[in-house]
Amino acid sequence: MNIVKANGAEIPALGFGTFRMPGPEVLEIVPKAIRLGFRHVDTAQIYGNEAEVGTAIQQSGVARNDIFLTTKVWPEKYARSSFAQSVDESLQKLKTDHVDLLLLHWPRGSSVPLEEQIEGLNAAVKSGKTRHIGISNFNTEDMRAASRLSEAPLVTNQIEYHPYIDQSKVLQTARDLGQSITAYYAMADGRVPKEPVLNDIGSRHRKTAAQVVLRWLIQQDGVITLSKTSTEARLAENFGIFDFALSDEEMAAIHALARPDGRIVNPGHLAPTWDVAA
């Protein structure tokens, strides 16, 4: 497993995401993912499956300390009066005394000042409830502001990233700040497997289009990607991205798929003003 180093954190480059994964599905597939070799599991309070993720880790047969576990605080819990309690609830559900990474889930959706939000993250570090902290769905302006406000270093910004969206500005800002980027929606809501360019590249390497995109992501400096599947067969496919490399020309061809309307996830009440593509 490749490791991404960012502001003192060492994060497995390939994670298993549980967004929109109901509890029974988590219990079925996550232990198998961990046994296969996944060592990075991502969840969130709002997913409603933290309890099942905690049970799945226990049932995997792999020690909790060998798993990099991420969860996220929802905007409704950002206030000083509810932040710590919310983290405690997550830890109880996850059946652990700490997570490896705690994120603010969205930059909007709350009237709580950013300074107070960052204060909550730092308090979680000081109390030992998380080893590292970060953000999710932040634009570059908010990334810089959050970094200035935080006593502990922020280690990642989790964002939508796939071949159809240009995230070069966010990537560069993350690198300037010593942070990583964690990519979600890597399959672009089902568009990736149908893309001729990706299938053509995959045929050269005897890989699928999905494997090509996961490889494209982790082959970029400081980029982590989350994969997700509900089927055991796809687990092995998603994990099989460490035995080949894309050429510079292939990487460029995938970057060239980006277009102005490529963004998929954009909830108006939660999202920031996104950076314009480079």
Q: Which of 64, 67, 85, 66 is nearest to 76 (CA)?
A: 85
Please determine, for residue 1, whether its predicted confidence score (pLDDT) is greater than 80. Answer: no
184 is catalytic: no
* CATH for 26: 3.20.20.100
Domain membership flag for residue 119 = yes
Give the pLDDT of residue 30.
97
Give the pLDDT of residue 233.
86
Domain membership flag for residue 140 = yes
Q: Look at the chain and report how many structural domains it folds into.
A: 1
Is 255 annotated as ligand-binding? no
Query: What are 217-231's pLDDT values in tens digits?
Result: 999 999 999 999 988
DSSP 227-276: E--SSHHHHHHHH--SS----HHHHHHHHTT--TT------TTT---PPP
Domain membership flag for residue 211 = no
- pLDDT range class, residue 36, cuts 50, 70, 90: very high
What residues make up the domain containing 27?
Answer: 3-189+217-231
- pLDDT range class, residue 35, cuts 50, 70, 90: very high
Burial zone of 253 (CB within 10 Å; 0-12 exposed, 13-18 middle, 19+ buried): middle
Domain membership flag for residue 208 = no
Query: What are 3-23's pLDDT values in tens digits?
Result: 999 999 999 999 999 999 999
Please determine, for residue 185, whether its predicted confidence score (pLDDT) is greater than 90. Answer: yes
Extract the tokens encoding 75. 């905007």
Query: What are 55-67's pLDDT values in tens digits?
Result: 999 999 999 999 9
Domain membership flag for residue 253 = no
What share of the chain in percent tops pLDDT 90? 96
Domain membership flag for residue 205 = no
Query: What are 142-163's pLDDT values in tens digits?
Result: 999 999 999 999 999 999 999 9
Please determine, for residue 278, whether its predicted confidence score (pLDDT) is greater than 70. Answer: no
Q: 277 φ, ψ to 5°?
A: -60, 150
Which residue of the set 47, 78, 161, 185 is catalytic?
A: 47
Query: What are 78-118's pLDDT values in tens digits?
Result: 999 999 999 999 999 999 999 999 999 999 989 999 999 99
What share of the chain in percent tops pLDDT 70? 100
Domain membership flag for residue 30 = yes
